[in-house]
């Protein structure tokens, strides 16, 4: 009987982990921010981030946002300070495929008009840089 419950519990954990994952949206830091922790605009406004049309938080330059998502394709959009014209800032946003492993979306510039998905190693490094700068 105990073995049956253990097997059922393991199957539930495997099924659950295959259905949910972490999505990190990262705004890179300039090298001076990484080395000194100094932010270019610590009081600057932040931009709302939407996943599948739902607000999940706000993102500043040299910042990161984490949210849980299910497996499958998700629409990520960053509405930049009232503008909604280009790339990930546009109404169309960006399609991101998620699975059980964390997914890292990194902004290519400080105006959040474009982004790309990076591999786990590079994503963890970008995340570490943001955390280091924000200590």
pLDDT digits (tens, 9 = 90+) for 46-79: 788 999 999 999 988 889 999 999 999 999 998 8
Q: How far apart are CA 111 and CA 17, in angstroms?
A: 34
Q: What is the pTM of this model?
A: 0.75
If pLDDT is split at 50, 70 and 90, which confidence band does 23 have?
Answer: very high
- 97 pLDDT above the threshold of 70: yes
Fold of 21-133: Immunoglobulin-like (2.60.40)
Predicted confidence band of residue 135 (pLDDT cuts 50, 70, 90): confident
What is the tally of helices (H) and strands (E) in the chain? 3, 8
Q: What one-character DSSP code corresponds to residue 13?
A: H
Domain boundaries, the chain: 21-133
Per-residue burial over 76-93, b if 16 or more Cβ lie within 10 Å, else e, is bbbbbeeeeeebbbbeeb
**Tokens describing residue 122:** 């590079």
């Amino acid at each position: 009987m105990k073995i049956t419950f253990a097997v059922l519990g393991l199957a539930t954990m495997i099924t659950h982990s295959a259905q949910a994952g972490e999505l990190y949206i990262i705004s890179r830091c300039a090298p001076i921010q990484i080395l000194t922790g100094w932010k270019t605009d610590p009081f600057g406004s932040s931009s709302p981030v939407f996943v599948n049309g739902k607000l999940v938080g706000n993102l500043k330059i040299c910042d990161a946002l984490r949210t849980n998502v299910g497996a499958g394709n998700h629409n990520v959009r960053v509405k930049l300070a009232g503008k909604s014209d280009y790339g990930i800032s546009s109404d169309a946003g960006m399609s991101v495929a998620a699975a059980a492993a964390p997914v890292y979306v990194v902004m290519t510039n400080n105006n959040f008009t474009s982004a790309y998905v990076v591999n786990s190693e590079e994503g963890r490094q970008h995340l570490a840089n943001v955390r280091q700068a924000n200590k």
